[in-house]
């Protein structure tokens, strides 16, 4: 009897084990079966490894993406720089990747670029670390924080414009100075010594030059020089932090470095340095590109330029003909100028797309996006789609009298990885435009065609060479009357 019971129990256990294994096998096979049922998006992967990289870099990128969107639709595949990619060119797809299912797509950057900025920079991360760091950075560049630095930004703009008076220069390269100086202002407040500022500037621009160079680590190459300059930047920032610890931060210090050093996150010096350099990089070329395009768009439309002048001259008159500094309220009252900025961002689409990487197999509209594939929402294609923006190739700031349809305008990205410094960038641009149109005139030198170069952000040919000159008080008074 006991033997029969034991046998029954053993048989029961064996049957249960087999059923569990079969069940587990079915469950484990289900994702793979589902993956086999899904198909990859349409498109061409091009040549082995290099894919369609040569086609992308040998023609206008806008043409490259637009041609494939027309052929394959809003989702298509390709291979770029050795990586299989899925391109997404609809508002719904951008929202899917960047907002509603953002946890399925991690930010991804080439290792060579990560080395130059630092692996702890917030935009290389997602999850809790990213959210905590983003909160700290946002607090330093929020409208409340920026309200008090308007006069400081003016003190950066006025001498910069004065240094260009009577000269011919490449706008894009000259404009890089302002976002760098504004970044230093937000990061260090008024606590940075001249010697540290000089060394930071010198080494930062060496790193910036190497950021988009071929990542060759042989001595004397641009990239190798950038790596060495990045090490020096780390040493300079460590010295600044050590000096602050010895002196003690002022009780009311709200600059970004103080916020990072005194945060509850107990960040290491390397983490702080990576995020400081990351913030300096984040708005450097992008802000300079936008300011360059604004000069071109205003120059090409005299009627619009006059309307912007009228708006700014009214503020100039209120401020005792420029003798008093701008206020935050006046910055917020520059309605037309703000629309010009938004339309410039749409037309130029400085950030044409963003890189993400699928952290798992993802299904989108019946297509498979395999784990590890790069995913690229194409902002430019959406910004230039006539379904969302009427006559998209015409520069028309009045289109922003009505808010764009949701998920059709991504000048600073969207979702948890949207640029936290967008208000700082707008402040710099608004202050620059105010002093530019009330005190100066400019002329584009050479051919004024629509040629664009990519370095890597789109800018007019040669960075838009202009000649700037200051207007006399008599001619300004004549105009205002």
Q: 219 — alpha (psi -120 to 50), left (phi > 0) or beta?
A: beta
**Structure-token pair, residue 386:** 């006539």
pLDDT band at 23 (very low <50, low <70, confident <90, very high): very low
Shortest CA distance to 457 belongs to which of 355, 298, 348, 376? 348
Cβ 158 vs Cβ 326: under 8 Å: no
The three state secondary structure string of 292-348 is HHHHHHHHHCHHHHHHHHHHHHHHHHHCCCCCCCCCHHHHHCCHHHHHHHHHHHHHH
Number of Cβ within 10 Å of residue 472's Cβ equals 9
Tokens of 49: 């490894």
Q: Is the pLDDT of residue 16 over 60?
A: no
Q: Where in the chain is the domain with CATH 3.30.43.20?
A: 39-110+352-383
pLDDT of 228-246, one tens digit each?
Answer: 999 999 999 999 999 999 8
Yes or no: say if 140 and 278 are a contact pair by the CB < 8 Å rule: no
The confidence band for 6, taking pLDDT boundaries of 50, 70 and 90, is very low
Rounded Cα–Cα distance for residues 293 and 284 (Å): 15
Per-residue pLDDT averaged across 272-298, rounded?
92
Residues of the chain with CATH 1.10.630.10: 119-191+250-349+384-480
- Average pLDDT of the segment spanning 350-367: 90
Q: Is the pLDDT of residue 29 over 60?
A: no
Would you state the pLDDT for residue 195?
Answer: 94
Q: What is the mean pLDDT of residues 371-389?
A: 93
Inter-helix orientation angle 177-188/150-164, to 10°: 150
* Tokens 């048989």 belong to residue: 11
Q: What's residue 252's pLDDT? A: 54
442 membership: H or E segment, kind and range? strand 440-444
Return the ∠ at Cα 385 (arms to 381 and 386), rounded to 5°: 165
Q: Distance between CA 161 and CA 468 in Å, rounded? A: 9
pLDDT of 211: 85
Mean per-residue pLDDT, 267-296: 92
Q: 37 or 36: whose pLDDT is higher?
A: 37
- Say how far apart CA 295 and CA 174 lie, in whole Å: 13
Residue with more model confidence, 127 or 166: 166
Beta strands in 66-162 (DSSP E): 75-80, 83-88, 105-107
pLDDT tens-digit readout, 154-177: 999 999 999 999 999 999 999 999
Is the model's pLDDT at 106 over the cut of 60?
yes
Q: How far apart are CA 69 and CA 77, in angstroms?
A: 10
Q: Mean pLDDT of all residues in the chain?
A: 87
Burial code of 116-138, b = ≥16 C-beta within 10 A, e = fewer?
bbbebbbbbbbeeebeebbebbe
- In the predicted model, what is the mean pLDDT of residues 253-277? 92
Query: Helix (H, G, I), strand (E, B), or coil: what is residue 362?
Result: strand
Across 341-360, average pLDDT: 91
Looking at the chain, the whole-number percentage of residues with pLDDT higher than 90 is: 65
Is residue 436 scored above 90 in pLDDT? yes
For 93, 113, 175, 234, 462, the CA distances from 352, given in Å and listed in that order, are: 15, 18, 20, 31, 20
DSSP class of residue 60 equals -
DSSP state, residue 125: -
- Domain 39-110+352-383 of CATH type 3.20.20.70: no
pLDDT above 70 (res 431): yes
Q: Which CATH number fits domain 119-191+250-349+384-480: 3.20.20.10, 3.90.79.10, 2.60.120.280, 1.10.630.10?
A: 1.10.630.10
Closest C-alpha to 421, from 196, 11, 122: 122
User: Is residue 445 classed as helix, strand or coil in its secondary structure?
Assistant: coil
Helical pair 194-211 and 177-188, crossing angle rounded to 10 deg: 130
Q: What count of other Cβ atoms lies within 10 Å of the Cβ of residue 325? A: 15
pLDDT of res. 22? 36
For residues 37 and 39, give the distance between their C-alpha atoms in angstroms, rounded to a whole number.
7
pLDDT of 448 higher than 70 = no
pLDDT at residue 361 in the model: 95
CB 378 within 8 A of CB 352: yes
Q: What is the DSSP letter of 439?
A: H
Most confident of 115-129, 252-266, 358-372: 358-372
Q: How far apart are CA 416 and CA 123, in angstroms?
A: 10
């Amino acid at each position: 009897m006991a033997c029969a019971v034991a046998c029954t129990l053993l048989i029961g256990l064996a049957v249960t084990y087999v059923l569990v294994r079969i069940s587990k096998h079915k469950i484990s096979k289900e994702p793979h079966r589902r993956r086999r049922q899904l198909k990859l998006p349409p498109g061409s992967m091009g040549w082995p490894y290099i894919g369609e990289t040569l086609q992308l870099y040998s023609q206008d990128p806008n043409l490259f993406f637009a041609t494939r969107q027309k052929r394959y639709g809003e989702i298509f595949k390709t291979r770029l720089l050795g990586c299989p990619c899925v391109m997404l060119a609809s508002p719904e797809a951008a929202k899917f990747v960047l907002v509603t299912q953002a946890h399925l797509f991690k930010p991804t950057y080439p290792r060579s670029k990560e080395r130059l900025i630092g692996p702890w920079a917030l935009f290389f991360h997602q999850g809790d670390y990213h959210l905590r760091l983003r909160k700290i950075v946002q607090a330093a560049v929020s409208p409340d924080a920026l309200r008090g630095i308007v006069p400081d930004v003016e003190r950066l703009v006025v001498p910069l414009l004065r240094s260009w008076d009577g000269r011919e220069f490449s706008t894009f390269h000259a404009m890089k100075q302002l976002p760098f100086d504004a970044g230093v202002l937000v990061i260090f407040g008024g606590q940075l010594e001249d010697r540290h500022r000089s060394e930071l500037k010198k080494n930062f621009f060496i790193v910036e030059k190497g950021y988009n160079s071929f990542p060759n680590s042989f001595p004397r190459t641009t990239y190798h020089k950038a790596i060495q300059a990045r090490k020096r930047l780390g040493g300079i920032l460590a010295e600044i932090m050590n000096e602050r610890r010895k002196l003690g931060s002022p009780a009311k210090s709200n600059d970004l470095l103080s916020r990072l050093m005194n945060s509850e996150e107990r960040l290491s010096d390397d983490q702080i340095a990576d995020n400081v350099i990351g913030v300096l990089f984040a708005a450097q070329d992008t802000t300079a590109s936008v300011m360059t395009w604004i000069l071109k768009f205003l120059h090409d439309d005299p009627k619009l330029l006059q309307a912007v002048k009228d708006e700014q001259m009214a503020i100039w008159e209120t401020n005792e003909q420029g003798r008093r500094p701008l206020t935050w309220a006046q910055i917020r009252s520059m309605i037309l100028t703000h629309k010009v900025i938004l339309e410039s961002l749409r037309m130029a689409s400085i950030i044409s797309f963003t890189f993400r990487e699928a952290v798992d197999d993802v299904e989108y509209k019946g297509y498979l996006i395999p784990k590890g594939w790069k995913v690229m929402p194409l902002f430019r294609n959406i910004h230039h789609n006539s379904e969302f923006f009427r006559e998209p190739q015409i520069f028309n700031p009045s289109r922003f009298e009505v808010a764009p349809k949701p998920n059709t305008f991504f000048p600073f990205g969207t979702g948890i990885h949207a640029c936290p410094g967008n208000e700082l960038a707008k402040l710099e641009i608004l202050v620059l435009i105010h002093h530019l149109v009330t005190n100066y005139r400019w002329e584009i030198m050479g051919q004024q065609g629509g040629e664009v170069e990519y370095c890597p952000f789109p800018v007019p040919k040669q960075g838009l060479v202009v000649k700037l000159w200051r207007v006399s008080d008599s001619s300004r008074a004549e105009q205002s009357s």
